[in-house]
Amino acid sequence: SQTLFFFSLYKIATSSDFSESLKICFLYLSPPPSFIARSNNIRMLEKKVETFNMNRVIEDFEEMSRNADQVQIQTLKDILLKNQSAIYLKNFGINKNTTDPEAFKALVPLVTDFELEPYIQRMVDGDTSPILTGRPVPAISLSSGTSQGRPKFIPFTDELMENTLQLFRTAFAFRNREFPIDDNGRALQFIFSSKQYTSTGGVPVGTATTNVYRNPNFKSGMKSIQSPCCSPDEVIFSPDVHQALYCHLLSGILFRDQVQYVFASFAHGLVHAFRTFEQVWEEIVTDIKEGVLTSRITVPSVRIAMSKLLRPNPELADMIRAKCLSLSNWYGLIPALFPNAKYVYGIMTGSMEPYVKKLRHYAGELPLVSHDYGSSEGWIAANVTPRLSPEEATFAVVPNLGYFEFLPVSETEETEEEPVGLTEVKIGQEYEVVITNYAGLYRYKLGDVVKIIGFYNKTPQLKFICRRNLILSINIDKNTERDLQLSVESAARRLSQEKIEVIDFSSHVDVTTEPGHYVIFWEISGETEGDVLQDCCNCLDKGFIDAGYMSSRKCETIGALELRVVERGTFRKVQEHFLGLGSSAGQFKMPRCVKPSNAKVLKILCENVVSRFFSTAFD
Ligand code: AMP
């Protein structure tokens, strides 16, 4: 059928590996005798992809989104075919004849990472039998998982690599149509590849981003759609992330006229980078003036690579100094440093929203473009409307990246409803995303809540809402990460009247007191009167508008909320702790709630408390 043909073309066009293209060709294109003639066309197609044809990538997405329902059926078939020998699937009675979604859903249960953990652990331990996937996986991803207080293992496969490239191409096509960048330009990218290590079972383990960056197909696959980084590879692969960040900033300034956009995976990373710039800019200016790298850079490979870029340039140094001194409270820092940048790019939605305000301050008039939606488990949706602000951003599900189901999230959460298919979702409804992918996850509840905002052709456009897990709950109260965020935002408005900002925050449920109470940790940018912070504390308490919380507060089954202000730099210590555990700097997300099991982080926060306030809001 036309859809099948389109689907095969799409897979071929987006496959980074020619032998893979041939395999797909055998699977989908018929009859086989015409194959040889077609393979020449495929070669041509491949060539076109290498040079990147924006309009064609957009047309392909248009076509695929028009046929989203058919593409989903075909994708599931393809996943089951590839993994038909997997023990996990066989255990549930899946065989080569199970190809339709209804049969699949009847046999395979919904699961979370908890149920899959023993299977994945066997893979990590080096068992190469077909456990979750038909073939042994080439690597394991380490999901940041900071919300659970521990890293999570996720299978990484070549298909996930292909999906990544496909999604990047799609998003780039739409982004570049709106904000065309200069072909000869560069990108200032705050990217950090952490180390892969080999498990005792001999499997490479790293963060998903590291597995992607270190994949041999990544560089060639990205060539046609990515401006080269300002920084040398040695900086990206530096074992010391602080030194890498300094060098990213320095490299960006050395190539300042060529910088087309500024990127970090998460808004947090962008804000962190420019806050660091505020502290080190004079050192950077000195390096540029004298043409000698500061002694703080000690990693030999990084020193050698950076020294090659530097030569004395007093003119540039003076210009940067003058620019920095002319800014008012660093407003518009990014366009001042990079006059030809077209936009600032990174994940700015969900738990990154608290950083958008500060980022906008640094970005001045430059558009903030929200990066796509995905996870270590796999990519889900692309930003095909890049002009929307981070507050409005939506993502269109790419229907061939996996088989997607959506589990309705009900207000009461009393009854678990049945998940619906990709094209059956309803506008305005919130769902938890359920993924079946090429990398051994079957009907896997991702834990993310999304809201359907509309449709792009037949595929849903969604907004990321929050992680499903409740983070603050003592009895009948239910507060999610989003609720915490809203409460912090409202209290931060009180603080901003004093020209002070909340640099970072986290929370904790303290049940060592009777009754238990919420504790909010704040790191703030300056000193202020105790009564201002007392107001903020009351505001935080009133900010949780969940009925269960308010009634519990009124009848004192939940105690007064406590605001603990921590010393400057405390959240940096928390981040360093996670980096030490193997999280990558680019992937890091501040845990918004610290569970008692995460004793180390709780200790860091508690040891650095400088003042405490208890809410009087319900007195
Ligand atoms: P990780 O597995 O460590 O890569 O983290 C993936 C998680 O980050 C997802 O499950 C989401 O909760 C969150 N995330 C990823 N992309 C976005 C996005 N565009 N907006 C908001 N949150 C996101």
User: Which residue, 347, 605, 617, 587, is CA-closest to 487?
Assistant: 617
- What residues contact 477, with CB distance under 8 A and at least 6 apart? 544, 546, 548, 549, 552, 558
Check: CB of residue 400 under 8 Å from CB of residue 64.
yes
CB atoms within 10 A of CB 518: 28
Strands 343-347 and 368-370: parallel
Q: Phi-psi region for residue 448, left (φ > 0), alpha (ψ -120 to 50) or beta?
A: beta
Strands 204-206 and 197-198 come out as: antiparallel
Q: Ligand 1: does its nearest atom lie under 6 Å from the Cβ of 15?
A: no
pLDDT for the residue numbered 17: 32
- The residue whose C-alpha atom lies closest to atom 19 belonging to ligand 1 is 373
- Residue 26, pLDDT score: 24
pLDDT(436) > 60: yes
Which pLDDT score, from 0 to 100, does residue 50 have? 54
Residue pLDDT, tens place only, 313-368: 999 999 999 999 999 999 999 999 999 999 999 999 987 888 899 999 999 999 99
> For residue 283, how far is its CA from the centre of ligand 1 (angstroms)?
34
pLDDT band of 47, cuts 50, 70, 90: very low
Mean pLDDT of 610-616: 97
Cα–Cα distance measured from residue 409 to residue 429, given in angstroms and rounded to the nearest whole number: 8
- DSSP, collapsed to helix, strand or coil, labels residue 410 as coil
- For residue 482, how far is its CA from the centre of ligand 1 (angstroms)? 14
List b or e across 196-206, with b for residues whose CB sees 16 or more CB atoms inside 10 angstroms: beebeeebbbb
* CB-based contact 483:92 (threshold 8 Å): no
The better pLDDT of the pair 436, 197 is held by 436
Q: What digits encode the pLDDT tens for the residues 315-326?
A: 999 999 999 999
The confidence band for 114, taking pLDDT boundaries of 50, 70 and 90, is confident
pLDDT surpassing 60 at residue 41: no
Please compute the mean of the pLDDT values over residues 522-551 and round it to a whole number: 92
**CB-neighbour burial class of residue 407 (10 A; exposed 0-12, middle 13-18, buried 19+):** buried
* Average pLDDT of the residues in 593-612: 92
> What average pLDDT score do residues 126-152 get?
76
**Mutation probe of ligand 1 site: the residue of 211, 398, 448 with most atoms within 8 A of C-beta:** 448
Average pLDDT value for the chain:
86
> Which atom belonging to ligand 1 lies closest to the Cα atom of 395?
19
Average confidence (pLDDT) over 145-163: 72
Cα–ligand 1 centroid distance for 343 (angstroms): 21
Q: Bin 566: left if φ > 0, else alpha if -120 < ψ < 50, else beta.
A: beta
Read off the DSSP letter of residue 365: T
> How many residues belong to the chain?
619
What pLDDT is attached to residue 95? 87
Closest C-alpha among 131, 151, 133, 150 to residue 141: 151
User: Per-residue pLDDT averaged across 207-231, rounded?
Assistant: 80
The pLDDT of residue 522 is above 50: yes
Quick check: CB of 208 below 6 Å from ligand 1? yes
Residue 345 Cβ contacting ligand 1 at under 6 Å: no
Look up residue 361 and give its DSSP letter.
Answer: H
Higher pLDDT, 239 or 475: 239
Question: Which of the four pLDDT bands, split at 50, 70 and 90, describes residue 413?
Answer: low
Residue 384 pLDDT: 97
Answer yes or no: is the C-beta of 350 below 6 A from any ligand 1 atom: yes
Ligand 1, atom nearest to 377 Cα? 2
Q: For residue 254, give both structure tokens.
A: 């050395």
- Region label for 396, one of left (φ > 0), alpha (ψ between -120 and 50) or beta (otherwise): beta
Q: For residue 373, how far is its CA from the centre of ligand 1 (angstroms)?
A: 6
* Residue 37 DSSP class: H
pLDDT bracket for residue 598 (50, 70, 90): confident
For 227-254, what is each residue's pLDDT tens digit?
889 999 999 989 888 999 999 999 999 9
